[in-house]
Amino acid sequence: MQTDRGMGVRILGPFASYLDHRDTTPSGPKQRQILAVLTLNAGRVVTMSALAEELWPHRPPRNVASALQTHVLHLRNRLASETPGALHRTEVIRTMFGGYLLDPSSCQTDVEEFERLARAGRAAAEAGDHRSASGLLTAALAVWRGPALADVRLGPVLEVEAASLEGTRLGVLERRLEADLVLGRHTDIVGELTLLTARHPMNENFCALLITALYRCGHVDLALAAFRRIRAVLAAELGVDPGPRLQRLHQTVLSGEAALEPTTRWTPTR
């Protein structure tokens, strides 16, 4: 990740930080947690109580404030050690009333890059330019190098942040697959959708896309089998039936209608 700002932080995969192109990734697990929380809340004050909850969710030390200040000091020293005479450590992490703030003007993250490409891809899809949408959304997904914060100890705060990022990634992936269906790439994405529905057996949107792709490939039996699988899983796990979208899709496959033929554009859900 190249950056024209002083500091760069990688969240989407193994955690890493750079300052003026020098590696400043903290080695201490708690310092990595602090930097990750501050980065994901860049420009906003993170209270000491929120940081304490992240670092010590069960057994906080007797003097939480002193312990937290010590970890922040070590983190600042780490950021400064690799950048002598460059961006000053206190310009990156600022002490505010009741907490700390990471200056967004001096920091760039791979999350920003991912969100920029994802926005452009969604805008292209809304404008009907599905080829550009597919390319942009593919580029957005390529920013990910693994699960978010893959090698960071996740406390209560970072667990929520990581889950939110993963949810966003899956949404972008769904939009990219929808664009590929519009472009008639159903044969190319059947394998990917098969894997996704195995990993996310209760995700109705992925299942709908798989049924559509299989039907367009002429695999009516496999499309019906995919519907039966998710119906059984939803009944066993949640005690519910598939939603209206899947029910209508199932009926379309059973009736052999041309609505899912390759010449017909897929209409993505919003």
Q: Where are the domains of the chain?
A: 7-109, 186-270
Q: Above 90 in pLDDT, residue 229?
A: yes
What are the residues facing 99 on neighbouring strands? 47, 96
- Angle separating helix axes 204-216 and 220-237, nearest 10 degrees: 170
Phi, psi torsion values for 100, nearest 5 degrees? -135, 155
State the average pLDDT for the chain.
Answer: 89
> What letters, b where the CB count within 10 A reaches 16 and e where it falls short, cover 122-153?
bebbeeeebebbbbbbbbbbebbeeebbeebe
Contact 67, 27 (CB under 8 A): no
Q: How far apart are CA 184 and CA 189, in angstroms?
A: 10
Q: Above 80 in pLDDT, residue 21?
A: no
Contact 55, 34 (CB under 8 A): yes
pLDDT one-digit tens code per residue, 128-173: 999 999 999 999 999 999 999 999 999 999 999 999 999 999 999 9
| 17: DSSP letter | E
Residue 43 burial (CB count, 10 A) = 10
One-letter amino acid at 223 equals: A
pLDDT one-digit tens code per residue, 57-98: 988 888 999 999 999 999 988 887 655 554 454 568 899 998
**Beta-sheet strand order (sheet of 16-19):** 22-23, 16-19, 7-10, 107-109
Q: How far apart are CA 266 and CA 132, in angstroms?
A: 16
Question: Which CATH number is correct for 186-270, 2.40.110.10, 2.40.10.480, 1.25.40.10, 1.10.1370.30?
Answer: 1.25.40.10
pTM of the model: 0.87
pLDDT one-digit tens code per residue, 165-177: 999 999 999 999 9
Question: Which CATH number is correct for 7-109, 1.10.10.10, 2.40.50.180, 3.40.50.620, 3.40.50.1970?
Answer: 1.10.10.10
Give alpha helix (H) positions in 29-129: 29-40, 48-55, 64-81, 89-92, 110-126
Q: How far apart are CA 231 and CA 125, in angstroms?
A: 30
